[in-house]
Amino acid sequence: MQPLAWRAMIVATVLVTGACAGRVRPGAPNAGRPPLEREARFTATAYCTGTITATGTRPNERTVAADPNVLPMGSRIRLNGLARRYNREYIVGDTGGLIRGRRIDLYMRDCGEARAFGRRTVRVTVVR
């Protein structure tokens, strides 16, 4: 095979591999970490951008982004300690570049509401 063809094949492989590497599959293993205890304190923020989540679905008002090593994709969680309208069940369906450890990011359609939400402490209970 020609050297140019080899280079093209290597570049194509790197591009395809890199594009798929960022996706987190639902139900991905918890990377050997112990499961989250029944209730824990997290820092909550909000986001309003994006049309497709890390699980390949559209975000909605019940979507949260979380670190999949702490809360696996597809987990159902309940938030408490916020304003009544935010205290409800959510599904972990997204990740974020700055979402590491005990941090969650609530999806909101209104960017003004997301900015006003700011940063808050919340109690997270794993439902399943």
Domain extents in the chain: 39-126
pLDDT tens digits, residue range 97-127?
Answer: 889 999 999 999 999 999 999 999 999 999 9
Residues 33, 22: Cα–Cα separation, whole Å: 20
Contact 43, 102 (CB under 8 A): yes
Which is higher by pLDDT, 83 or 32?
A: 83
Mean pLDDT of all residues belonging to the chain: 81
Greatest C-alpha distance within the chain:
65
If you average pLDDT over residues 38-65, what whole number do you get? 93
H/E run at residue 76: strand 76-80
Q: Quote the pTM value.
A: 0.69
How much of the chain, in percent, has pLDDT values that exceed 90? 64
Domain spanning 39-126, CATH architecture: Beta Barrel (2.40)
List C-alpha distances in Å: 54 to 1, 28, 67, 117: 38, 12, 11, 23
Give pLDDT, residue 8.
55
Tell me which residue of 57, 45, 119, 123 sits closest to 91, measured CA to CA.
57
Tell the residue number behind the tokens 């987190």, with chain if given. 24
H/E run at residue 66: strand 63-66
Tell the residue number behind the tokens 């696996």, with chain if given. 72
